[in-house]
Amino acid sequence: MTDISIIVPAYNAEKYIEKCIDSLVNQTKKELEFIIVNDGSTDHTEELIKKYKDERIKYFKNPNHGIGFTRNFGVGHATGKYLIFLDSDDYIENNTCEILFNKITKDDLDIVVCNFYKEFESGEKEEIKTPYFENTSLKENPDIITEYLSPWAKIYKTSFIKENKIKFVEDLKYEDAPFVIEAYDKAKKIGKVEDFLFHYMIHQNSETTVRDRRCFDIIKIIDKIRNYTKDKDYLKEKIDKLTVRILTNYTIQQRVQVDPNVQKEFIEEAFSYLKKEIPDYKKNKYYENRGLLKRTIEKNMFLTKLYCKFYKK
């Protein structure tokens, strides 16, 4: 058994995969395995992966199943004591594994979180620093659940993930959040390091920037989260705030929706969901730090539709 398994789903990643793998094979910590799963790529992703002769690379090729299935597949083949998830268009600092491993082993934690950079194709870089916390649990510090719910920028104890059968949703987009929330909920102790270790890339036509009919999956994902946490009273306020934040962001993001009919339909469905689940959503604390103009638009379905219709990039 090696120390860390790093799981990398790869789908048509020829533009980015080499930078990603370079950041893995050059880690200062050497006791690693890299589980790279080709999720049915139709470009030159496979050729580029096979150029690497590092014996720590475990390469798998599957028909296209989506990122949720692919990550679960990777976990199933992991032999490391700890897990790290990395997307194929992202990369990590050379000392990422060493820093995260030292923290999670020294303090005997189930999860460790770190800061990261958000990078754009223009070369612009933004530091994303989540609030620091001492080793804790979700019950002791429910605010953790309102921070970034991505599976990356974290390290997990493998036995903790497998024994609790924590899996990614496989049939929906935005599969990250339920996995992370369940992991936070079941973790006995969660830690944080202040280092900026991951580089999260934002590029044109990425999953982050494209809006199509799959945007409706976010409502189903929120519903899964709310159902999972419905009996956890200590999380109610946080989950309501998270629900308002996510749906507000996604209604406003309909400004880049490719289909105007989908744009209208999604906004209507999102507001309908908010009214049903959180009748007083307009009073939610999420809006407190939004400017007057922003929160006026974001709380109102008609104004949101108007904004998205006439917004110009």
Per-domain boundaries in the chain: 4-202, 213-310
Q: 3.40.50.11540, 2.30.40.10, 3.90.550.10, 3.30.450.20: which CATH number matches 4-202?
A: 3.90.550.10
How high is the pLDDT of residue 142? 95
Long-range contact pairs involving 57-64 (C-beta distance under 8 Å, separation at least 24): 57/21, 57/25, 57/33, 58/33, 58/34, 60/35, 60/36, 61/37, 62/37, 62/38, 64/11, 64/39, 64/40
List pLDDT tens digits, range 138-158: 999 999 998 879 999 999 999
How high is the pLDDT of residue 147? 81
Q: Which residues pair with 35 in a beta bridge?
A: 7, 58
| 136: helix, strand or coil | strand
pLDDT at 303 over 60: yes
Segments in the chain forming alpha helices (H):
17-25, 45-50, 67-76, 96-106, 158-163, 176-186, 217-229, 236-252, 260-277, 292-298, 301-310
pLDDT at 114 over 50: yes
pTM of the model: 0.93
Lowest pLDDT segment from 1-15, 57-71, 209-223: 209-223
The whole-number average pLDDT for the span 236-242 is 95
pLDDT at 206 over 70: no
Q: Can you tell me the distance from the alpha carbon of 17 to that of 90, in angstroms, rounded to the nearest whole number?
A: 8
How high is the pLDDT of residue 175? 85
List pLDDT tens digits, range 45-87: 999 999 999 999 999 999 999 999 999 999 999 999 999 999 9
pLDDT at 128 over 50: yes
